[in-house]
Amino acid sequence: MDEIVIPSALIQSLRTASRVAVLTGAGISAESGVPTFRDAQSVLWARYRPEELATPGAFKRDPRLVWEWYEWRRNLVTDAKPNLGHRSLVIMETQVPDFTLITQNVDGLHQMAGSKNVIEIHGNMHRSKCSNEGTIFDQPELYEDKPPLCPDCGAYLRPDVVWFGESLPPEALQASWESAQNCDLFLSIGTSALVEPAATLPLLAQENGAEVAEINIQETRLTPHASYFIVGSAAQVLPELVKITWQVDMSAE
């Protein structure tokens, strides 16, 4: 393992920050074995492009195909467990007075780890919703029909995730906007920071006076703007950050 270098100024900022906003992406779940969106195709699904399945148009054309694709993706995540990166953010939430975790991931691993204040800007694949009225239903795997029908109105249920071409849930978007605007420190973790609003949130925080720290195994479009860039995997860097900042040793748990 390469040595992880965490600037002491970042430790100081984290220790003294009243408000911290964190944005996570697929990179934090990589070490839990969750394939990223575009990695996730198997032979079975190889002839389909995710960008052509995760759309409202695809669901309209072939609801069963799209439902089965999500069923397959849900099964990939079923055995996954939160890793030390997710668990470090649970500790961080207990140490920082005002802490918000914004995630683009739909795998639910932050909540499984124990994070409380989580904003899911792209939804959650473990929930479904009525394609007509938007009513939310848990545990889609319990249904036999593919896709199941809404018990209230008979329309198809669909995964409760944001598809290409759809807008983000307005409340989640508003809440993430506010936490970015008002934080003292913004951490961008394991995201390519290409998709909106992920691309804008750290910049918005910076414009409003926050420091921005990025943790990633490689540079991204955000890196030139970040106050701190820590190269390394989330599951290695975050426990180290928590250990140095608050003397909480995750490896001892």
Active site residues: 122
Q: Which of 241, 238, 246, 228 is nearest to 95 (CA)?
A: 246
| Terminal-residue alpha carbon distance, the chain | 21
DSSP type of residue 152: T
Q: Which of residues 146-165 bind ligand OAD (CB under 6 A)?
A: 162
Shortest Cβ distance from residue 157 to ligand OAD (Å)? 19
Which letter, b or e, does each residue of 82-111 get, where b requires 16 or more Cβ atoms within 10 Å of its Cβ? Answer: bbbbbbbbbbbbeebeebbbbbbbbbbbbb
CA atoms of 189 and 157, how far apart (whole Å): 32
CB closer to ligand OAD, 149 vs 173 = 173
CA atoms of 212 and 203, how far apart (whole Å): 8
CB closer to ligand OAD, 147 vs 190 = 190
Which stretch in 70-78, 88-96, 131-139, 214-222 sits in contact with ligand OAD by CB under 6 A?
214-222
Phi-psi region of 165 (alpha: psi -120 to 50; beta: other; left: phi over 0): left
Shortest Cβ distance from residue 19 to ligand OAD (Å)? 23
Count CB neighbours of 70 within 10 A. Answer: 21
Does 202 engage in binding with ligand OAD (CB under 6 A)?
no
CB closer to ligand OAD, 19 vs 243 = 243
Does 190 engage in binding with ligand OAD (CB under 6 A)?
yes
Pairing of strands 228-231, 211-216: parallel
Does 73 engage in binding with ligand OAD (CB under 6 A)?
no
CB closer to ligand OAD, 36 vs 181 = 36
Q: Which of residues 92-121 bind ligand OAD (CB under 6 A)?
A: 104
Angle CA 165–169–173, to nearest 5: 105
CA atoms of 39 and 70, how far apart (whole Å): 14
Per CB under 6 A, the list member of 32, 124, 220, 245 interacting with ligand OAD is 220
Does 127 engage in binding with ligand OAD (CB under 6 A)?
no
Number of residues that bind ligand OAD (CB under 6 A): 20
Per CB under 6 A, the list member of 6, 14, 21, 26 interacting with ligand OAD is 26
Which residue is it, tokens 């989640």? 172
CA atoms of 131 and 158, how far apart (whole Å): 6
Shortest Cβ distance from residue 197 to ligand OAD (Å)? 11
Does 44 engage in binding with ligand OAD (CB under 6 A)?
no
Does 200 engage in binding with ligand OAD (CB under 6 A)?
no
CA atoms of 205 and 197, how far apart (whole Å): 12
Residues of this chain that bind ligand OAD (CB under 6 A): 25-27, 30-31, 36-37, 104, 122, 162, 190-192, 195, 216-218, 220, 233-234
